[in-house]
Structure 1
Amino acid sequence: MLFDPRPKERRGEMFDREVELEAILRGMGEYPITLIIGIRRVGKSSLLKAALNEYPGIGLYLDARRLYAAGSGSISAPVMTDELRRILLGRGRFGFLRGMSVEKVNLGGIQIKPRDMGFMDVLEIINGIGERTGHKVILAFDEAQYLRFYGSRGGKDLLAGIAHAYDSMPNLSFVFTGSEVGLLHDFLGLDDYSSPLYGRIYEEVEVRPFPRELSEEFLRVGFSEVGLNVPQDDIKRAVDELDGIPGWLVEFGFNYWKKGDPKKALETTIAKARNMIREELLELERRSPRYALILRAVSIGLHRWSKIKDYVEAKSGPITNARLGSLIRNLEKMGWIKKENGEYLIVDPVVEKVLRE
């Protein structure tokens, strides 16, 4: 059902994502590393889970954001290793195993019980599973930009392990998803000479919001599934407010279905979005209060560099061009803003609405 608010896990549950799903499956089969990128709430996690469920080999899924949150803002090497071990034993807290039963893992003569294993030990075990079964294993990290908080060196040790696996473990490949696209690229460093992964070959699949016509069709099909004949004006108004971001469209469709009132459904959707976005903004402000000021400036129509700087300085005092430039670039990398024709714009219209309040 399209309006099920939980992440989708099967091809048949998704809408018009055949091209992206096939590209991900092709990446899993043909490339050592696959990246799935796109802004927040566009459906990357659903696509990854659906791909893992169709992949003919073995897949391990790990949510790096939840691992980061459980560690209160960091990911220690023992916690990462223990979670991968738990997934292999069928007891993962932040991930799961696909394509192979836990019993077969345990019967394969593979020792995965010791708690003192390191990350490299786990990769060797996973590669060994692939070798013994004759099926390549995919290790998938969802929201992988949070892996930069692994260990004490910004995730460099983890990248070194992945680079070693790339070079010497032919039965193991990796998938990384990222909402903060620039940060994910910076972290992996596939084009950065100083990174352990520099120069490695990879596939990249971008998941975009729906165009307007497809957004309206998504809502029509979803309402048809639950037996509702919704006026076209209600659908158009929802798309005007929510744009083509599937996460918000699902939320609206679900609320309309349950409440039967387009105005209340939209208000409920915006209210939930407001709470989620404010939490994300608070996390940003903990890094630098000026992030929120820059976003606020852009949301109220100050799209040029000079206007943004004037606003930030009026609210928080002088700031150098270098510092402002660094903050703006970070917001671009994190997927909050984009630059078009010399102007900065908020990527998500719902975020823009919340920022204006």
Structure 2
Amino acid sequence: MLFDPRPKEKREDIFDREQEIEMIKNSAKEYPITLILGIRRVGKSSLLKVVLNELKSGIYIDVRKLHFDSGGWITNESLLKAFENGLNSLSHPIKREVFQYLKRVKGVSIAGLQLNFEPEVSLSEILEALNKRSRIIIAFDEAQYLRFYGRRGGKEFLTLVAYAYDNLPNISFIFTGSEIGLLHDLIGVSDYESPLYGRIYNEITIYPFSKELSIEFLGQGFVEAGIKIREEEIEHAAELLGGIPGWLVEFGYNYIKTKSFENAIKGVIRKAEKFLEGELRELEKRSPRYILVLRAISMGFDRWALIKEFLESRSGKIPNSRLAAILEGLQKMSWINAEYRDGEKRYKIIDPVIERVIKELFNL
């Protein structure tokens, strides 16, 4: 069902992403490291899960959940537990085969089709055992949160990836990231100090739908659900939601329940507000000025001078270097992007729903 709000796991439940699915599958076979990039709610997790299901040899780890469950700091124990859960989630035929290799690893105990890691188990030895199979894909969803692993900003983990890259040809890694700049910084193939410096990887970007494709998606979803809706309402929703599949699905799901365009849009806004509560708290921990910059841009103060004037009127004088760092940080976290119009650099909040909620949240 196209309007099912849960992440999709089967190709037939994905709309118009055949090319992206094949690109990811081919990349996982050909490259040791694949990055899947795209803004939040564009459908990266669904595409990843479809690919892993079709290749039947993938271990899935939700790093954002791991980060949250670990209280904001990912330990070796919590990462091992995530690996353990990922291995136990493999389909039974693959699990039986994989467990034959893992049972010889110190610290691994197996009872039937259930595997357990003891505290002394070594991740490098786990990977070495997995490498004896034809091909294993290890996928880290929202991998930028791996920067919270260990004491060196995730470098201990990247050292393990580099070891596998150099020595374990049957291990492939997939990393997805919504905070694109932060994921690039973490992987650091251009950073001489990164364990992955100089390594080759493939990068696949997942883009929002065009307006035309958004209209087609909504139309097909409502036909599938047996719901009648006016064409102008579909077009209006496509304009408001910016082609982001997560919001289009939320709108369709809400419309089926309420049979009301206004209530369906309100449901999308409520979902965005709930998301923003936690995200803005995290931004405020860095600096309240991050939120002030988002407020400024949402109001149309989209140029450097206007943003600076807005900030200084509310939080005092700010050095140019500090404002530059805030704008760069928001771009790396995929909140905003920069584009040139009329010869001037202008900033824009990428997600139109988030932009609208920020305006309403601060009574603008």
TM range (shorter): over 0.9
* Structure 2: runs of 5+ lacking an equivalent: 110-116
Offset, 1:98 = 5.2
Offset, 1:99 = 7.9
Structure 1 residue 346 and structure 2 residue 349: aligned? yes
Indicate the RMSD between aligned Cα atoms, in angstroms. 1.5
Distance 1:187 1:247 in 2: 26
> Any residues of structure 2 matched to 1:325-340 within 5 Å, and which?
325-340=324-339
Distance 1:273 1:337 in 2: 16
Offset, 1:275 = 1.7
For the 8 Å contact 1:81–1:117, the answer to whether it is kept is no
* Structure 1: runs of 5+ lacking an equivalent: 91-95
Distance 1:17 1:160 in 2: 33
> Any residues of structure 2 matched to 1:4-153 within 5 Å, and which?
4-55=4-55, 58-88=57-87, 90=88, 96-97=89-90, 100-108=93-101, 109-111=103-105, 112-113=108-109, 114-117=117-120, 121-131=122-132, 133=133, 135-153=134-152
Distance 1:110 1:236 in 2: 59
For the 8 Å contact 1:63–1:143, the answer to whether it is kept is yes
Partner deviation per Cα, 1:104-159 (whole Å, 9 max, x = no partner): 433444332352235xx22432342341x3x2111100000000000111111111
> How many residues matched?
346
| Counterpart position of 2:174 | 175
| Counterpart position of 1:315 | 314
- Matched AA of 2:13: E
Offset, 1:39 = 0.3
Offset, 1:313 = 1.2
Offset, 1:279 = 2.1
Give the TM-score taking structure 2 as reference length.
Answer: 0.92
What is the percent sequence identity of the aligned residues?
Answer: 50
| Counterpart position of 2:114 | none
| Counterpart position of 2:113 | none
Partner deviation per Cα, 1:142-199 (whole Å, 9 max, x = no partner): 0000000001111111111110110011111100000000000001101111111011
For the 8 Å contact 1:110–1:125, the answer to whether it is kept is no
Offset, 1:228 = 1.5
- Matched AA of 2:6: R
- Matched AA of 2:104: I
Shift in alpha-carbon separation, 1:105–1:340, aligned structure 2, 3 A: same
Identify the range of structure 1 (121-130 vs 173-182) with the bigger mean alpha-carbon deviation.
121-130
For the 8 Å contact 1:36–1:204, the answer to whether it is kept is yes
Distance 1:39 1:87 in 2: 25
Distance 1:219 1:103 in 2: 42
Offset, 1:100 = 4.7
Shift in alpha-carbon separation, 1:286–1:98, aligned structure 2, 3 A: farther
Distance 1:36 1:117 in 2: 32
| Counterpart position of 1:93 | none
Distance 2:195 2:217 in 1: 42
Distance 1:28 1:105 in 2: 19
Give the TM-score taking structure 1 as reference length.
Answer: 0.93
